[in-house]
Structure 1
Amino acid sequence: MSRRSAQALALALSGWIALAATLVTAVPVLRAVVTSVFLLLCPGLALVTAAQALLGRRGHRLDRLEAVVLTVALSLSVVALVAVGFHLTGSFTPARATAVLAALTTAGTLLALRWERPPPAPARPDRPGPRPAHGWRGWWRRRWNVKRPAARSGAAALLVLAAACGGGGGATEVWHTPGATVAAKDPGSLASPAAPGPWQLVFQDEFDATSLNPALWATCYDWNNAGCTNAGNHELEWYLPGQVSVSSGALNLSAVRRTTAGTDGHVYPWASGMVTTGRDNWDAAPRRTFTGGYFAASIQIPAQAGMFPAFWLMPQTRETPPELDIAEFIGTTSTVQMTVHWPENGKNAATAETYGPQDFPGGYHVFALDWEKDSLTWYVDGVARFHDTDPAHIPTGPMELLLNLAVGYPKAPPDDVSVANMKVDWVRVWQH
């Protein structure tokens, strides 16, 4: 094989090698180096090679500096265009984007072969037969038996289309779409899961009654003893059933600045409300637990500073991690945080994504999590914002569902804040 043929083959395969590297989770440095080199150089090099071939047919040629600058600039531009395109459609994954870029690089190589000008054939006194194929073009013809330019163009188009539709299906991925460029859906229209089904509704509360349904909800953590709190976060509230109410078709969790003595021997400056599908006390059975499913709630958070509203899942064992935080507002009312916690070497490990800024206190918003056996996907108003397929991160045991309005994490409310309300229009859970 000639040097030019080897270069053509290496360039055509570079993207697919980078795509394969995304599967090498055990060696993150290797994965980062291989994919970075490909993204920085190869898509642009394929385009520059095609341009060189086209210019060569007209008697022009880029000098080396021009070629290097164009290679890097075109690579970065193509990478940005592909990433933004997937981001705008809410379908971005690193593997899918890499697959499309690999297909484009291969397509650029095919175009270079099509446009390459072969060296002139020597003059022959007899009638010339078919001109022999030279260089990259000849190697590709002989190796792949590609006989027509139209066939090469069609193959390139099919590569790009196939990569866009199905790239990255088997890779371990963590992807994020934190921006606000994807249009959110009207929360009122999100009566069914945004994730592909089929689905069966297994739990719901529309809060259309005049009081909380005790068959569905408890009003404290499993360690309830005439109230409770989350001491691990050093929160300022003591949860009490009186801070939970149902009216006007919504669940209301009310936090009020009121000195409250807890049964744990501490005095708390706030009383607040929470609900859970867990237990009435430590020795009781949980009302409902879930292993996998699509969890969604329509929530309006309070506008007051110093509040910590949350919609989440904790294990039936009451030992965390694991933990799935569908929506948390930590020190902000304009940005929602989505988090998965998992045990790692006896410690709590976590990865998270945030989405915002949005006027979340201004109305109801639907926060959801699709918990599958091989993936976790978070949704905000029907748009996927965070996705994780690392097997080590995905819980396998049953979990309880919770909504709560904590106070004072990460910092206390201002002195002029004395009351806050978290409203929940509905809660629904679907399973396959």
Structure 2
Amino acid sequence: MRHIAIIGSGPAGYYTAEACQKQFGSDVAIDMIDRLPVPYGLIRFGVAPDHQSIKAVSRRYEQVALSENVRFVGNVSVGDQVTIPELLALYDAVILATGAPVDRPLGIPGDDLPGVVGSAAFVGWYNGHPDFAELDPPLDVSAAAVIGNGNVALDVTRILAKAPAEFVGSDIVAHAFDALGNSAIKQVTVVGRRGPHQIQMTPKELGELGHLQRAVPHVDTADLPPEADDAALEPGERKSVSHLRSFVSLAQDKDVAIDFDFFARPVAIEGDGKAERLIVERTRPIGEGMVEGTGETYAIPAGLIIACIGYRTPPIPGVPYDERAGRFANTEGRVPVDSGNLYAVGWARRGPTGTIGTNRPDGYMIAETIAADHPASAGKDGGAGLDALLATRGADKVSFADWQRIEAAESARARDGAPREKFVVVADMLAARDE
């Protein structure tokens, strides 16, 4: 029997487990190890709570999880309760599928002021991630700035701008729902250092902004390139830019204004002991999607500043790390360790790029790589060895059946119109498991 450990139970982890099942058939036993008692990673904690159709992909992962040769080992922290060298000794292959859940820092003066948060923290807060449940972002201010021109920036902006009634059917957690319902924010400025042709926003997500109950987006016509230039774009990009063009003429007659500020590069954050304004430098295009600073600066009022500028994979002791790229060091998924059986997949391998579905071919590639590197099992102890080791360390493992009990409890406590009310404290998850 070939034994494989996958660290992380998000999309990359489950697609890789599925790929290993198809690659090795019944001659494989897969342990999916996660530091939290709940699976699905980015699907649970990263996908916007009002995008339930995207979250439905978890049903596919559930089919993998319920297979006889796949086991969920939750509430186990790799690097603390069990080390990478120990796992490498127990399994034929160890695959890092931890994603990139850490915010990339802004790196400008004032980015440590209260009121400045990263998107991983803010998204984690409204999605119920235990690490960010106590974030308490300042929503008693009149203006917010969202830095970034990708879909995460759109999600954050939409969540800030929505009326409470628009969250029906979502699984936004209660503490965020209540806080956002009492928000004083009337102005959200979406800041990007480049122009409309360089946005990484998909048409569906961008189009949603034009149909909000209490908020309306606006784009300055001076920021838009000549309409004829749109012909050079890919169809999806062209549709996104067409949405931006439509925002120019929308009536500004709603309570919350969403302003897109293109060609604006953040250079500092100022305030008296807290964030009060974002200082940006006007930029200008210099060809091939590049920009340069003009030297002109101005202030954008903002008591809440959310940076949506990318993510990093957190290091794990014993794993070579690429500091510049913010991910594990690897060559085509192979992580350089003496034992030769450590791999990385998904964002932990390539950085935070691509969609959820991009992780599927990535997982199949890693399964094929493992088969080529290790044609036969080395006869290691696998999950039995892990269980014995964790027992000596008092680990309180959570199985997939345990997770199903937690999931049922979350469904039972949901407010009207919501699919679930997530537990945001690990101890509460474990208590629900034990009821």
TM-score range for the pair, normalised by the shorter chain length: under 0.3
Query: Where is the helix percentage greater, Structure 1 or Structure 2?
Result: 2
| TM-score, normalising length: structure 1 | 0.20
Q: Give the structure with the larger strand fraction.
A: 1
In our comparison, the structure showing a higher alpha carbon Rg is: 1
Please report the TM-score for the alignment, with normalisation by the length of structure 2: 0.20
Does 1 or 2 have the higher relative contact order (CA < 8 Å, sep 6+)? 2
